Structure 1
């Protein structure tokens, strides 16, 4: 039986990793399917990564891995993974399923591409694979996808004819899960203009899918495509509801020395009730937050009560966070903090290092929370919402509630507010200031004179440099390094720092979007240059790696100018050597920060938890691209 919750899957998977042993093939398949069903294709990719390195991959595992990559949006890897199942050596159900998935991958590429020959080719490829699968099996899944694509490519009569044939075939598809049969009938009804019948079938599909929101997300993506050709009835959209992704930001409990009431301890019960009501009314399935005393922990407890996933991000070392953001409220809140970390679905840290007095880390963590929620919502084909426990008149700081809410509103996403001032007025007996003792001394934590700043680091090097002969050095210096120097000079996205050594390039950007745009510009100009005409090998290319994190800006006495130091510089440097030639690989932090900002025409596709260079452990990496690039 599939695992009931994501926590079950994570506990089982990490248990194997901790014991340094691999699950049996059937158990691996079960865990990967559960992760995919629960709407976490990135985790499914991780579970399947080890067997996918072997030559004799089981066809079922290969199909599932390709599906996971397709749901992430990494169509290049999805197509490469399914390709071995498309030759003549594979027959029967495996061949039909492989062609159906190849059709889906081509269709999704078609949807992403701009108008032009490449898009037309992708549509033709999708129709060919879907058509072959339908002709060989009369399986409703490839049939209904072909019918929809016929409509989207301007063939309405052929679309309706195929939709009728597919509907007639559904009763015979007894092996197909109920939710897919109902979704197929709903889609056929839409193509035939039977809106009320479509809504009923989709409602039945969602009920049959249960907790498997990944399947419902696939239905929603298909509807979004159909919406380009027909009007989708409100009843159908309502039927395909998925549990919401909710981000929380809110004030901490007032400390005992605070003389102006904002969130006095006596208001806890009223605030907790409002948060619980919002969580239930919004139908939350996935919550993203920090874990400070007050609003954060009340939100976590409300999520746990309703069985939602809880994803906590702390800005720095968890013991330092306990000291700065929980301990002042007393032992009861300390116990709740520890319980929250114990029961959360996932707990991550913006940085693994200590606080060191760097307030900017709070804003960094808030952006990571936002980006994580946006990326997860994208996989579910929905938008996240923010729940804010806010006192608009209260002072704010970096990463605080007001700052966080302003950033969210700038993203254009929905939010809901719980007004602390209104709650204080409604409960005057609980609104007295908390001050019961003199202000404490600041928390004594190890600090430094220098302060970290969040920056984006880019490392790049020439592919094949080590194979150049001594006679090639002048061409390399004049043409390759010279060309990169011109790109830097011409770019509208100017770095704050540039350094080179050998074939290596190190740049630092103040803004993550500037760094990402420069990386793609650098990639494109290197890839389209005719290097043989400039005395360099035809395969000349570039690897680019990027990471965004807090670093120490300081004067470098050797270079005689400003430079950047710290563990996050090293981490960025360890990404570049594992990047594919002609590609830009970015850390999960960079991907999350880009998602948190939005509106920049950039996208990232998950690659997996990959080993970094020089024994620096592993890191979740993404491929950077423009939004209108297929891959």
Structure 2
């Protein structure tokens, strides 16, 4: 069972891993490794307070001899430091360093030793940091093990050399680490963040540091055209558009790609990505067959063949709605925003910077949707962009709408939807229900109304709120969670197992009159999906759909953090969906500054 749990954690499926831990602990309640894994799942999913509480309840603070178990307390404090306001960062960093140091003294492990050194450097104590680093380097050579284990040992050696100011030795150790596990980009990202943090604490710029170079996720977009001859290189260059796209991908060291698959530039980008062996995620505003009818088939059979080939080779295909109609430009804009946000989220995971590549005719008139709009959104987020300028000959072929939207009293609206529920309320004794309503539900209702939702509803111990923007919904979720945590359940004689869970989703809903309640309400599959996401969230957490996390990535400035928790089947009738955890962080915290950083890495100054 432990091997299965470890595999799920490595693959990022934290929800599944946590469920397996709890199930296994029912049969093996004294298994410390399963308890450790359960806390790690909570920690990585953003439930830091709950992770700390279960750390104590499981008795892991009493662990001995096992370095990983003993270091968990220090790791929890480290997570708090990275999300804290700047004035609390150094005290928390020192607290984490001292706890790592105590484990290092007891075990002599290089993992805790180098973390003690790094956190001590971040706390401002360079002398103690260098002392720990020297001891790590003197502890012995790299031990035998699997490639990932050897990678981390060599990466720790590189970190220790960096703390001692020996950049050449750090680069040699880093090169050896990368050679051991060359395609483990997740591990490389951890090292990249850690070395950048240490270098920043030492006053070194990111450009001068030995850092792993990772492929850059990118968003692509471009004009639709029927024949390649319709899109001519600006200035009359002789090289082909496909060749210029290849050059741009190479120049910017691109990796995972995110975009649509309309005839023309989109398909040229996708084909170039697949030739490079990189990951392709196709994001469409409508189901595949509807998209083909509208944006590919009108431009010729050859484009259909090439589009279907790309669809067959894509790593993932996201249909952002089940609508059979392209409704104005709203659904197109949603798909574009999700594709851009996914590129930014992937870059954040890899501790690098995303880039946008556009095939664009600068003479095109401004539109509310399309390539130029996508470019403006990207630049508005202060992200790097590269244009492949072209001169377009106007074609008689145009994207067509497969079906026209019929007039209806139910209006389409893009909404950020929030469902919240108090877990464990069924255990409340009948005589304390009035107290529960007054002391728990009422403060939550007041917090909800204070966020000025576009729509609100309630049922029993649950809330349904909707907003126009993702930032408003994220802030509301944070306020609701804070309001619940401020309630003293013990004083109210309520079960201390009560907890709040929240689900978030962004997508098209239908707004119209509820025939039973005789008031405006929201309907549709996307509303149901939002409710299902809430029911899968771990207690004490805020879970968001991939669509919500992606849209938020393009709208926020770093005040919220979204991290993937894995695939989850939220409804037996639907395919699994990729979920993220969301939590609010201090605007001046390390993780918020990393989100805004031009290098995509944490910096202390």
* Fold match by TM threshold 0.5: yes
Structure 2 CA distance for partners of 1:513 and 1:485, relative to 1, 3 Å? same
Tell me the equivalent position of 1:626. 584
In the TM superposition, residue 188 of structure 1 has moved relative to its aligned partner by 2.0
Q: Which residue of 2 aligns with 1:507?
A: 465
Following superposition, the deviation at residue 205 of structure 1 comes to 3.0
Q: 2:121 aligns with which of 151, 156, 170?
A: 151
1:46/1:527 CA distance change after superposition, 3 Å: closer
8 Å contact from structure 2 (residues 220, 358) kept in 1: yes
1:378 aligns with 2:338: no
SS at match of 1:554: strand
Distance, in Å, in 2 between the alignment partners of 1:202 and 1:573 is 46
Q: What secondary structure sits across from 1:585 in the alignment?
A: strand
Contact 1:253–1:294 at 8 Å: present in 2 too?
yes
117-126 or 363-372, which deviates more: 117-126
2:294 corresponds, among 282, 307, 324, to 324
Q: Quick one: distance in 2 between partners of 1:561 and 1:227?
A: 58
Which residue of structure 1 aligns with residue 596 of structure 2? Answer: none
What is the 5 A alignment of 1:468-487?
482-487=442-447
Partner of 2:183: 211
SS class of match (1:169): coil
Instruction: Give the distance between the partners of 1:440 and 1:524, measured in 2 at CA.
Output: 50
Residue by residue, what CA displacement relative to the aligned partner does 1:36-73 show, whole Å, maximum 9, x if unpaired?
4xxxx525875786466422689888878877876776
**1:415 and 2:373 correspond:** no
Aligned residue in 1 for 2:418: 458
Aligned match for 1:405, one of 351, 368, 375: 375
Q: Distance in 2 between matches of 1:336 and 1:578?
A: 38
1:354-393 equivalences under 5 Å are 354-355=324-325, 357=327, 359-393=329-363
CA contact (8 A) 1:272 1:298 kept: yes
Q: Pairwise CA RMSD of aligned residues?
A: 4.1
Whole-angstrom distance in 1 between the partners of 2:452 and 2:251 = 46
Q: Which residue of 1 aligns with 2:98?
A: 127
1:576 equivalent in alignment to 2:534:
yes
Select which of 142, 161, 169 maps to 2:139. 169
Tell me, in whole angstroms, the C-alpha distance in 2 between the residues paired with 1:29 and 1:473: 38
Maintained 8 Å contact 1:31/1:44 = no
Question: What residue in structure 1 maps to residue 78 of structure 2?
Answer: 107
Alignment of 1:37-48 (within 5 A): 41-43=11-13
Alignment CA distance shift 1:527-1:102 (3 Å): closer
Q: Which runs of 5+ in 2 are unaligned?
A: 592-605
Contact 2:15 2:41 in 1 (8 A): yes
Worse overlay, 105-114 or 374-383:
105-114
Q: What does 1:441-452 align with in structure 2 at a 5 Å threshold?
A: 442-445=400-403, 447-450=405-408, 451-452=411-412
Q: Name the CA distance, whole Å, in 1 between partners of 2:19 and 2:494.
A: 36
* 3-state SS of paired residue (2:138): helix
Higher relative CO (CA 8 A, sep ≥ 6), structure 1 or 2? 2
What secondary structure, in the 3-state scheme, does the structure 2 residue paired with 1:590 have? Answer: helix
1:599 is the counterpart of 2:534 = no
Q: Shift of residue 162 of structure 1?
A: 2.2
Shift of 1:278: 0.8
Could you tell me which residue of structure 1 aligns to residue 162 of structure 2?
190
Q: Residues 486-536 of structure 1: CA distance to partner in whole angstroms, max 9, x if unpaired?
A: 4345x2x31112233444432221111112212222222233245788898
- 1:226 correspondence with 2:190: no
The 1:176/1:148 distance shift into structure 2, 3 A limit, reads farther
Which of these residues, 296, 299, 308, is aligned with residue 338 of structure 1? 308
Query: What is the CA deviation profile of residues 570-589 of structure 1, one whole-angstrom value per residue up to 9, with x for unaligned ones?
Result: 22223334445554332222
Task: Confirm whether residue 250 of structure 1 aligns to residue 250 of structure 2.
Answer: no
Question: How far 1:627 sits from its partner (Å)?
Answer: 1.7
1:588 aligns with 2:546: yes
DSSP 3-state at the match of 1:54:
helix
Q: Does 1:525 align with 2:498?
A: no
Q: Distance in 1 between matches of 2:206 and 2:460?
A: 60
Residue 173 of structure 2 corresponds to residue 201 of structure 1? yes
CA contact (8 A) 1:255 1:434 kept: no
Q: Distance in 2 between matches of 1:524 and 1:67?
A: 22
Write the distance in 1 (CA, Å) between the matches of 2:266 and 2:103.
Answer: 53
**Deviates most, 497-506 or 318-327:** 497-506
